[in-house]
Homo-oligomer: A and B are copies of this chain.
Amino acid sequence: MPNKSKIYMQKAIDLSIESVKNGGGPFGAVIVKNGEVIAQASNSVTQTNDPTAHAEVNAIRKATAKLKNFNLADCEIYSSCEPCPMCLGAIYWAGIGKLYFANNKTDAKDIGFDDSFIYEEIATPYAQRKVVTEQMMRPEAIKAFQMWNEKEDKIEY
Question: Which residues in A have some Cβ–Cβ distance to B below 8 Å?
Answer: 1, 5-6, 9-10, 12-13, 16-17, 19-21, 23, 25-28, 45-46, 49-52, 57, 60-61, 64-65, 67-72, 80-82, 84-104, 107-108, 110-112, 115, 117-119, 121-123, 126, 131-138, 140-145, 147-149, 151, 154-157
Instruction: State the CA gap A45–B26 with chains docked (Å).
Output: 28
User: Which of B6, B49, B64, B148 is in CB contact (< 8 Å) with A111?
Assistant: B148
22 CB < 8 A contacts A-B: A5-B136, A10-B140, A16-B141, A17-B143, A17-B147, A20-B144, A20-B154, A25-B148, A26-B148, A46-B157, A50-B65, A85-B85, A85-B122, A86-B88, A88-B122, A92-B118, A101-B135, A103-B138, A103-B141, A107-B142, A108-B145, A111-B148
